[in-house]
Amino acid sequence: MVPSAQAACSRKAVISRAAVTEKPVTTNGTTARAKPGVPEGTPIVTPQNLPSRPRRNRRSETFRSGIRENWLSPAHFILPIFVHEGSSNEPIASMPGINRLAYGKNVVDHVAEARSLGVNQVVIFPKTPDHLKTPSAQEAFNPNGLSQRTIRLLKDAFPDVEIYTDVALDPYNSDGHDGIVRDDGVILNDETVEYLCRQAVSQAEAGADCVSPSDMMDGRVGAIRRALDREGHTHVSIMSYTAKYASAFYGPFRDALASAPKAGQAHRRIPPNKKEYQMDPANYREALREAAADEAEGADIMMVKPGMPYLDVVRSLRDNTSLPISVYHVSGEYAMLKAAAERGWLNEKDAALEALMCFRRAGADLILTYYSVEAAKWLAGEK
């Protein structure tokens, strides 16, 4: 209790310790009659003289919903899908409810369900077969690669779906990094950017609406913009993973794609983590620097990733740019909610919708979340 409140209490009517079960008494010693409906033992006080009582605006759901500052709609969600070459869906152990979808009908059916719930934006993450992974990750821009085929498949089935793509080398790189690794362990920046441009162009050619570089190489937004424009894709947008942190919350995603950094052979040093290109979780100002660069290079949407632990960064970008902001509610955040819900430790629907709402409050327009389909069902009142 704050000191002033404490003082106020002792000045006003209180129940003496010995008399808790008796009628409350006022400070002048007379016994007061409790108001109807007030539990016996409640102190009797003179009302505080408050000019402002914020609780007045919370008194009914009708009132609360009338003045609510933010809201959630399936239109805000971007649905991530994992696609693989197998013939059936494969559950991902660390992401209950999420599957690697079999390329083909299963992918189309899943997106059809999302669309029926109002989720019409999808981002594709392909699981590349091991034999197609190489240290230079050239499968990333194979015009008939799994990602490119999935884009075509979905665009043919649903011309108005917004297709986002992941631009980064890690799903195709046998070293498990987003960039090309030199033998001494340096992640090459400009060489990687050249391949990211080819990857982005190949995705645009397959029909992607928005390419999303998630690699954190310097200068890739501008280079991709120029490459897209040069090839006639001036209408294809770029959602940059602007402030992407070297986070421990990506673990389940790397399980899903088997894309974690790999140990090197004797003559090569493979960095065991991504700290040389993804941002340090301790840093805040650096996000503004990244944002200034991405905006100048032509990003259409800027993303913060992960979500829940980084809402200060979301708010800061919101206040420092007029571009739309997206947030990635990442695999580890999803796994935490699922794990607690499975144990009965959290009400999953309430906790998940709260997390999503808080992204909006922090300033995000778009939310990339594994909860897209479930949350859309909750919002529709289906379950």
Ligand X SMILES: NCc1[nH]cc(CCC(=O)O)c1CC(=O)O
Give me Rg for the CA atoms of the chain: 27
By the 8 A CB rule, do 43 and 11 touch? no
* 262 touches ligand X (CB under 6 A): no
Span interacting with Mg ion, options 32-40, 188-196, 247-255, 288-296, rule CB under 5 A: 288-296
Q: Which is nearer to ligand X, 253 or 310 (CB)?
A: 253
In the annotation, is 305 catalytic?
A: yes
Q: Which of 133, 274, 305, 338 is catalytic?
A: 305
Q: Across the chain, which distance is largest between two alpha carbons, in Å? A: 90
Task: In whole angstroms, give the CA distance from residue 334 to residue 355.
Answer: 10
Using CB distances below 5 to 8 A depending on partner kind, what does residue 44 bind out of Mg ion, ligand X, none?
A: none
CB of 294 to Mg ion, least distance (A): 6
By the 8 A CB rule, do 254 and 288 touch? no
Closest C-alpha to 256, from 110, 124, 382: 124
Q: Looking at 214, 316, 326, 369, which residue binds ligand X (CB under 6 A)?
A: 214
Write the CA distances from 255 to 86, 106, 167, 174, integer angstroms. Answer: 16, 21, 19, 15
In the annotation, is 338 catalytic?
A: no
* 254 touches ligand X (CB under 6 A): yes
* 128 touches ligand X (CB under 6 A): no
Backbone angles phi and psi of 187, in degrees to 5: -90, 115
Binding-site residue numbers for Mg(2+) are: 290
Bridge-based pairing of strands 90-91 and 99-102 is antiparallel
Q: Which is nearer to ligand X, 24 or 213 (CB)?
A: 213
Q: Looking at 168, 181, 239, 308, which residue binds ligand X (CB under 6 A)?
A: 168
Closest C-alpha to 257, from 106, 76, 113, 132: 132
Using CB distances below 5 to 8 A depending on partner kind, what does residue 76 bind out of ligand X, Mg ion, none?
A: none
* 178 touches ligand X (CB under 6 A): yes
* 139 touches ligand X (CB under 6 A): no
Task: In whole angstroms, give the CA distance from residue 197 to residue 211.
Answer: 10
Please give the positions annotated as active site.
244, 305
Applying CB under 6 A, which residues contact ligand X? 166, 168, 170, 178, 214-215, 250, 253-254, 274, 330-331
Give the residues lining the site for Mg ion (CB under 5 A). 290
